[in-house]
Amino acid sequence: MLYKKRLKLEHYILSKDGTYVIEYGGSLWMLKEYIAGQKPPRPDFIYDSWRGHETGKFLVKMRHLSPDIPVEAPYLPKVVDRVMRKLERKMPEIYEKISPTYDSLTSLMESWEKIPQAFSHGDFHPMNIIWGEERINAVIDWEFMGMRPELYDAAMMLGCLGIEDADGLFSPFAEEFISTLKKGDFSERSWGLLPELIIATRFAWLDEWISNGDEDMLDMEGIYIRTLSKNIYNLKNYFINL
């Protein structure tokens, strides 16, 4: 549906039978068009303000086009609680370091049901975008899509910029991204809780690092989450006043 509304995303091709899934050689297959693109230079892409403009423009357009897509998504407060229980059981040292940051999420968790909801990609970050010459060719990997707080995708993107590079949250990419989003229809309540939402989305990444047994990323993520939590009020002022 979003593809038909000219949103730039990958899409699957209908078979001659009018279905998206076909059986061939004993396996099930889905086909989609090949989309050419360029890998963004890491971490230097954070200095590209045009990427911030294009990603912000994409989310503003999706917010406008998708108010009627009631797809359920995982309930993030439960995800955060599940990750904390995993850490307490399997990695108590990391749990002790991260548990104080949980208190910084209280206002977000208590307001969760009152935050305006919108359809979200669910895993919106630079590596899930096929980049062209100063534009987005397509956004890929929609398996986590669903209804969430309206700035969820923005929080995911900003969180990934910040862990990509120490300057990521304050980079030309981030600043242009936020400035472009402010032209969209996002509520003051959502902007006020954006720092907490960034922290909360990082717990989904923690879950991945736990599953993969990636101790280096767990350590890095723990430091990052604690840093975000300690600077939450500075981040609020930065996002609101930019």
More confident residue, 164 or 18: 164
What letters, b where the CB count within 10 A reaches 16 and e where it falls short, cover 216-233? ebbeebbebbbebbeebe
pLDDT at 11: 78
Asked if 80 and 203 touch (Cβ cutoff 8 Å), the reply is yes
Beta bridge partners of 38: 131
Share of the chain above pLDDT 70, in %: 98
Alpha carbon distances (Å) from 121 to 31, 141, 145: 20, 8, 4
pLDDT at residue number 5: 65
Structure tokens at 87: 């850490």
Q: Is 69's pLDDT higher than 80?
A: no
pLDDT confidence of residue 77: 93
Contact 128, 145 (CB under 8 A): no
Domain architecture of the chain: domains with CATH: 37-241 (3.90.1200.10)
Averaged pLDDT for residues 63-81: 86
pLDDT at residue 65 in the model? 85
Question: Please, are residues 141 and 123 in contact by the beta-carbon 8 Å criterion?
Answer: yes
Q: Is the Cβ–Cβ distance between 209 and 239 less than 8 Å?
A: no
Q: Above 70 in pLDDT, residue 3?
A: no
* pLDDT per residue as tens digits for the range 124-150: 999 999 999 999 999 999 999 999 999
Q: Which of the four pLDDT bands, split at 50, 70 and 90, describes residue 191?
A: very high
